[in-house]
Amino acid sequence: MSSLLTAFGLMLVIEGLMPMIAPVAWRETFKRVLEMRDGQIRFIGMAAALVGGALLLLA
């Protein structure tokens, strides 16, 4: 359970860096995401999940 909380905390830190450092670029990124089709967003999500799973297997 401790590892899960550590991983979640690290994810939140990493997710918070972009809006903290470059809020304009962060906002523009979300505007571009809103213009994408559902299939494109699903593909990005699937790719992120696969890369994350591969990293977990390597660790």
Whether the full predicted model's pTM is greater than 0.75, yes or no, is no
In a domain, 28, yes or no: yes
Q: How many domains does one find in the chain?
A: 1
With beta carbons less than 8 A apart as the criterion, state whether 26 and 19 touch: yes
Query: Cα–Cα distance between 45 and 36 in angstroms, integer?
Result: 13
pLDDT digits (tens, 9 = 90+) for 13-49: 999 999 999 999 999 999 999 999 999 999 999 999 9
What's the DSSP call for residue 1? Answer: -
**What is the residue range of 36's domain?**
23-59
Report the pLDDT value the prediction gives residue 59, as an integer from 0 to 100.
82
In a domain, 9, yes or no: no
Query: Cα–Cα distance between 50 and 46 in angstroms, integer?
Result: 6
In a domain, 13, yes or no: no
In a domain, 12, yes or no: no
In a domain, 17, yes or no: no
